[in-house]
Amino acid sequence: MMLPMVGLISSLRALLLLGAAVLLLSSCASTQGPGTALPDDEPTLGTAGGPPPVTAGPPSNGPTAGDRAQSAVEGMLIGAIIGAQAGPIGAAVGGVGLLVYGAITGEVPLANASGPGGPRGGGGGYPGGSDAAEEAELENEIDREIARQGTLEDEIEAELRRQEEILQRIERDEALRDATATDAGPSVEDLGRKASETRRAPRAEKLKDLPASIFDESRRQEAGRTLKARSLDADRDGAPEEVRLFDEASGAMVRVEEDRDYDGKIDAWTRYEGGVPRAAERDNDADGKADEWFEYGAGGLTTRREVDRDSDGVRDAFFVYQGDALVEESHDANGDGRTDRTLRYENRKLVVAEEDTEGKGRVDTWTHYKVISNQEVVERIEKDTTGDGKPDVFERYEQVAGRLQIKERGEDKNGDGEVDIRSIYENGKLKQRQIADPGLLPL
């Protein structure tokens, strides 16, 4: 271990001596530069009888002798440090090589690796006076580019959203076309036949237990009897929010009137028998006329509900309940006063829909449903195309990849109750057709 260390010290000593020599030579050379003073015996420039004055040329832009000496020393140290990784010899070779390089070029070896710039001498450089302005301009350009990229990203995001909306609209249109195709499945109306109202029987609203002292009492005559009216005007605007009417003779509650939207007008009437609610009427559109009617059974559960949905004074939706569940729902969709659609339920699930699709006052289409993955889907559709009240077209459907497709279609052409033509479908397309009576050809 001692020998390599002695060699390294010897090499470094030689390098230091060499560096000192270079510094001495450089300092001597610097005394002979263009700015050296003239000897005393030389004639003074610009005096009479002397040589004409010599105009100094432009100052040199290159490194001075001092710069070269400093660069040589720094280069020697850098080379020695780098070369020391290969041993004493490497340190000597590296130091001498970079010393010579610095003395000749006036640049510190490897200094340019730190960044762009002009020649570097004596550890310094010769940056131009516009470097700060250039750096500021570069930073501004970077900021502008970042801002432009942000704007571009926003535009791309908006375009992607627009494309997604277009794709969704196309998919919906394709689904509607597939659903309405004759051999591809039922119509959009068939697919959408579900209960339009809740399937749980509503309960009559329970009266709050309020002290009699907060009510104002009065008397009124109605149907040949005297009623005691207890009115609650909480906001003291002269229009009571609730009026409870009692038969004065028996003390039994007869009716409750309410202003549910606090507009100063009574819009709900509940009739009582034996102290329990039996029927109710509501004005939901504030036109002063009832448009919803309830009948209550045991426990205040609704047994029947009727609605005037278009406020024309004619009831057009009817709901029948058993226990706490909806069992039947009927609608007059075209406002002709006749029911043209009836939905039937079991355990709050739709099982069959009966419809008058031609508006002739009789059912001509029966749509049967089944439950798959807790969803009601069409299982089969029966149609009366002859008007005799009996189905003569029988269609079966299946779910394929989440979409409803026709599977089989049977037709009773001669009205004997038997299928004469059976069409088999695959992926919604006609695959084969079976004809029981050859006399039906050609179709």
Q: Residue 223 falls within a domain, yes or no? A: yes
- Residues 295, 317: one domain? no
Q: Which residues of 180-219 are buried (b: 16+ CB within 10 A; e: fewer)?
A: eeeebbbeebbbebeeeeebebbebeeeeeeeeeebeeee
How many folded domains does the chain comprise? 3
Q: Are 266 and 243 in contact (CB under 8 A)?
A: yes
- Residues 252, 111: one domain? no
Radius of gyration of the chain (CA): 52
Report residue 57 as tokens.
Answer: 């040329």
- Residues 337, 189: one domain? yes
pLDDT at 329: 95
Q: Residue 134 falls within a domain, yes or no? A: no
- Residues 191, 324: one domain? yes
Burial status of residue 70 (CB atoms within 10 A of its CB: 0-12, 13-18, 19 or more) = buried
- Residues 327, 182: one domain? yes
Choose the final residue of a domain: 238, 272, 300.
300
- Integer Cα distance of 253 and 310 in angstroms: 33
Domain around 411: 175-196+309-443
Q: Residue 337 falls within a domain, yes or no? A: yes
- Condensed to tens digits (0 to 9), the pLDDT of residues 300-342 reads 999 999 999 998 989 999 999 999 999 999 999 888 889 999 9
- Condensed to tens digits (0 to 9), the pLDDT of residues 237-248 reads 999 999 999 999
Q: Is 79 helix (H, G, I), strand (E, B) or coil?
A: helix
User: CA geometry: angle at 189 spanning 187 and 193, to 5°?
Assistant: 125
Q: Residue 217 falls within a domain, yes or no? A: yes
- Residues 235, 190: one domain? no
pLDDT at 112: 55
pLDDT at 340: 93
pLDDT at 78: 84
Q: Residue 169 falls within a domain, yes or no? A: no
Phi, psi angles (nearest 5°) of residue 24: -65, -45
Choose the final residue of a domain: 123, 141, 164.
123
Expressed in percent and rounded to 5, the helix, strand and coil fractions of the chain are 30, 30, 40
pLDDT at 15: 55
Q: Residue 156 falls within a domain, yes or no? A: no
Choose the final residue of a domain: 104, 123, 142.
123
Residues of the chain falling short of pLDDT 70:
1-62, 108-130, 159, 162-197, 440-443
pLDDT at 345: 96
- Condensed to tens digits (0 to 9), the pLDDT of residues 2-42 reads 444 445 455 555 555 565 555 555 555 444 444 444 444 44
Q: Residue 43 falls within a domain, yes or no? A: no
This prediction's pTM = 0.55
- Residues 265, 370: one domain? no
- Residues 251, 289: one domain? yes
pLDDT at 333: 87
pLDDT at 11: 55
Task: Report CA 146 to chain centroid distance, whole Å.
Answer: 26
Total number of residues shown for the chain = 443
- Residues 186, 207: one domain? no
